[in-house]
Structure 1
Amino acid sequence: MSEVTSDQLFLGRQPILDREQRLYAYELLFRNGSRNAADVTDGVQATATVIANTFSELGVEAALGNCRGFINIDEAFLFSDLIELLPKESVVLEILETVPPTPAVIERCKILKAAGFTLALDDVIQLAPEFAELLSLVEIIKVDIQPLSRVEIMQLVMKLKPMGKILLAEKVDSREQMEQCLKLGFTLFQGYYFAKPTIIAGKKLDHSQLSLMKLMGLLLGDADTSELEEALKPEPGLTVNLLRMTNSVGAGSTETITSLRHAITVLGRRQLQRWLQLLVFSSGKQAGSTNPLLLMAATRGRLMELLAEEMRPGNNAFADHAFMVGIMSLMPALISLPIEEIIAPLGLAEEVKEALTGSNPDNILGNLLQITAACETGDLEILSKHLQKLDGISIKALNRAQTHALQWANGLNQPSP
């Protein structure tokens, strides 16, 4: 029996240290279980899974903090335009030793380097003439010291140093090896002497292949942004991952995300398409039933949106914020994290954050959320209390909005005609 449930995700992470043994980066590794090993049958899927888990499911802050991530790239993935989805300042593309230095590979590496990506070459143990041009393109050379003698390591370093590259000693397993590599002038270090890979575990946010393919179809059909937004609204899991990806790709940006439409605009349609492709590649699931909590989250979002429109007709920004609060409010139950941790890296508007954390009792969106939750539980006392705080919502309007929200939710799992 498998140790892994379908909603679990795993990511291996091994530290890369500098000469003072300070954390420089992490190598991100494919893991398909809590056991610290990988069963890789498809290199493209493995790399896509690492990328999706890092930048979408977990979020770049949780996976990397302020460090960069080294990501293994095989020949097939090297030519995938999914690479261009990655934030250049946060990753190092680690070209595996199995990638042949063909003219096509060399040209692709030149394009990626010109686009601003940092390249590294993995598992170098000798200087074969056919790798000369590829070596000239990379910025970091990872030397596998494990199969080499002390003399062989010294001879290899003497040949590499004139190239002016950053040398990384990998598979450093002892203090003696570390001290030798320090004396030889290595800049970066990785290996069991410092730390074995650790496993970051999390929960996947459910999104079926059917939903992904529907969104892909809309993008390929050049659908309007409003159509994309409507297709995303019934998918709280995808929406949260979209926000995470938007903030990962825009690392360093201080722009506040105000709505789904805004997130789509910030990410860009081409990047959105790559992100959906990435999720399709990394997902092994078939279309199935929707998680009941996700359905409730979507219903909450729709009810809050309708109530916001009732309160402030024509104020689309307010309605967008209300929808965002509704779908985000059940995320702690879905992914077993406090709401503060979930929203910290998402760049949400301040009034949305206040409503979700309950930090401001006078926050209108927070009161709308309380009303929505009271409708679910049938708590008339709480419902009455928060209705009194808001102008513009009558019991009749609330009942009407509830009916429309439930009708909308009931249609979510229905196939398109």
Structure 2
Amino acid sequence: MSSTLHIGRQPIVNRDGELFAYELLFRDSQHNRATVLDDFAATSHVIRNAFGEFGLGHVLENRSGFINVSADLLLSDTIELLPAATVVLEILETVELSEAVVARCAELAAKGFRLALDDVLEFDARHQPLLPHIHVVKIDVLACTPAQLAHAVAAFRPFGVMLLAEKIDSMEQYAQCRELGFDLFQGYFFARPTILTSKQSSPPNWALLQLLGLLNRDASLAELVQAFKPSPQMSFTLLKLVNSVACGAPCHIDSIEHAIAILGRRQLMRWVQLLLFTRQEQGLPKQDPLVNLAVCRGRLMELLAQQRHPGNRSLAEQGFMVGLLSLLDALYQQPRDTLLNPLQLQDDVRTALLDGSGTLGLLLAEVLALESSEPSPPDLASDAAGLLLEAMQWTDRLLLEVGG
């Protein structure tokens, strides 16, 4: 089942007018507004969409991302899903600055997270214990008089924080804030939030629940890899998550096993919980024919690689990934290169999927020839049809097992 996903982003600029960061905003439609009834749920959707659906590189364009956090989210493990070097955790004005919140902020700052105070009007004694851990203070320009703005700047400046003037609507406000010494600026004067929209097909509930059960009982890596095999959508989501969390670090993924190893069990557990928490649909039917074909194609690629290159376990794993991802364009109704571009796939996997080249590309061509019942290429193994039958039977058993 496909659904339309939305996320808002608004630019934050520096004193030279250059793009410094984006604030990521909850949006539930194409309309440039949203009614937020639950801060935790709203931010959870922002995290899911930005990091697991759109892909962080696409959303932030190598800039930092400011994300609103409630007290519940700040104190939860979920926040540690995010790459500390990329995000700025924006503590909402509704958060009570309790001892627990201050201690948590100190812990997050020690882990490399940058923290911001949102919608500040003036310096308050309650801010003082928190300020050693704060990187940015956002001051609401619309709610302050010029005298209040000047007083706030003077009060916060000794703490070494960056000062961000938010809700700037006019050139006059911008000039005034720049004169006062603000470091960063945000508001409709620069740009209204833009809405990013994407049609995505999310992992089905049964696949997420099965994976959560395996993680809860500390299943082996082989069992975790097996859990991804019935769901191309879940495998695709895993690759996007790894790419987002890695934040452009040099890492070229060649298999599901490799992706799980990079992400780590704890992070994987958090993502599965987040995906289940933010469900907007019931998931794909368990017998979706495109899913079945993708799984079967992955298994056949794996079997052919094992037969042609015995002992090359890595090639067999790559073969399964190529087969599983070879129907992404049909599943997601988008061009294949558009879907693959954000992923840091190993060159052999990528070129096989986009150009049909290399060893994996030749194996994929054989698989497609078998599926189409066209005359077999001269070098097609005589028992390839038997491998296809074996792959079909394996797929039927696998999907029957996950179907319960």
The TM-score range, normalised by the shorter chain, is over 0.9
Distance 1:189 1:359, change over 3 A: farther
Q: TM-score, normalised by structure 1?
A: 0.92
Please state whether the residue corresponding to 1:204 is helix, strand or coil. Answer: strand
Name the structure 2 match of 1:8.
Answer: 4
Match of 1:84 among 80, 85, 88: 80
5+ residue gaps, structure 2? none
Contact 1:46-1:282 within 8 A present in 2 as well? no
What one-letter code is carried by the residue in structure 2 that aligns with 1:403? L
Q: Cα gap change, 1:167/1:248 in structure 2, threshold over 3 Å: closer, same or farther?
A: same
Q: How does 1:187-202 map to 2 (within 5 A)?
A: 187-202=183-198
Q: Which residue of 1 aligns with 2:393?
A: 407
How many Å separate the matches in 1 of 2:171 and 2:140?
Answer: 16
**Counterpart for residue 347 of structure 2:** 350
Instruction: Tell me the SS of whatever aligns to 2:8.
Output: strand
- Any residues of structure 2 matched to 1:385-404 within 5 Å, and which? 387-389=377-379, 393-394=381-382, 397-404=383-390
Q: Cα–Cα, structure 1 residues 413 and 36, in superposed 2: closer, same or farther, change >3 Å?
A: farther
Deviations 1:312-336 (A, max 9, x none): 2232111111111112122123334
Structure 1: gaps of 5 or more residues: none
> How many residues are aligned here?
402
Letter of the 2:329 partner, please give it: P
Q: Distance in 2 between matches of 1:151 and 1:334?
A: 57
Match of 1:313 among 307, 310, 314: 310
Change (3 A) 1:61 1:337: farther
- In the aligned structure 1, how far is the partner of 2:284 from the partner of 2:250? 37
1:224-373 equivalences in 2 (<5 Å):
224-286=220-282, 289-290=285-286, 291-358=288-355, 360=357, 363-373=358-368
Q: Distance in 1 between matches of 2:397 and 2:203?
A: 16
Superposition deviation, residue 359 in structure 1: 6.4
Where do residues 92-107 of structure 1 align in structure 2 (5 Å cutoff)? 92-107=88-103
SS at match of 2:57: helix
Q: Does 1:38 align with 2:34?
A: yes
What is the rounded CA distance, in whole Å, between the counterparts of 2:291 and 2:20 in structure 1?
38
Q: 102-111 or 337-346: which moved more? A: 337-346
**Aligned residues of 1:171 and 1:190 also touching (Cα < 8 A):** yes
Percent sequence identity over aligned pairs? 44
Query: Which residue does the alignment assign to 1:17?
Result: 13
User: Normalization by structure 2: what TM-score?
Assistant: 0.94
1:24-57 CA distance string (max 9 Å, x none): 1110111111111123233222211111111111
Which residue type is aligned with residue 378 of structure 2? Q
Quote the Cα distance in structure 1 between the aligned partners of 2:291 and 2:185.
43
Kept in 2: contact 1:289–1:413 (CA 8 A): no
